[in-house]
Amino acid sequence: MNGIKQILISKEELGKKVKELGNKISNDYEGKDLILVGVLKGGFVFLADLIRELKIPVEIDFISVSSYGSSSKSSGVVRIIKDIDISITNKHVMIVEDIADTGLTLKYLKEMLQTRGPADIKIIAALDKPSRRKVEIDLDYKGFTIPDEFVIGYGLDYAGKYRNLPDLCILDEEVYK
């Protein structure tokens, strides 16, 4: 497909990692019910793969957020476009995100959901780009640490496209020049 510079993580590697994460979470949450909150849109592919590797009872819901623009993005203000529908009070919650970049979205979401009185909240991110972090966040579970490149595929988009690529790829700079 046009616009791909190279494959960074193949679908086989992604699949293997998701299986490992699924096993770990299934062990850690044995005997507990878990609510997975997928962050739209990018987190949906990872969430869909992850739930099929879990051997514990899970419920899923989705939340959609958007930043207010570049100036407020640095202050971590995000707008909720779609909230979750279910109550998380006294429940075990895990936020499922495609990538932790500056960390602002995850920090905001965790703090916001925390106000609803869950038993606990953890975070899982398929990818981590720690070189770009602006705020400290704790990733309880993560797939891969990646370099500071703009990646597409496995749910991640550029201008709304490329989410369907099964491999995680680096976007060709020619596309946004």
Which of the residues are catalytic?
A: 101
Residues 51-110 that bind ligand 5GP (CB under 6 A): 97-105
Among 8, 34, 152, 168, binds ligand 5GP (CB under 6 A): 152
Closest CB to ligand 5GP among 27 and 131? 131
Minimal distance, residue 105 CB to ligand 5GP, in Å: 3
Q: How far is the CB of 154 from ligand 5GP (least distance, A)?
A: 10
- The count of residues interacting with ligand 5GP (CB under 6 A) is 17
Query: What are the structure tokens assigned to 63, written together?
Result: 């939340």
Residues that bind ligand 5GP (CB under 6 A): 42, 97-105, 129, 150-152, 156-158
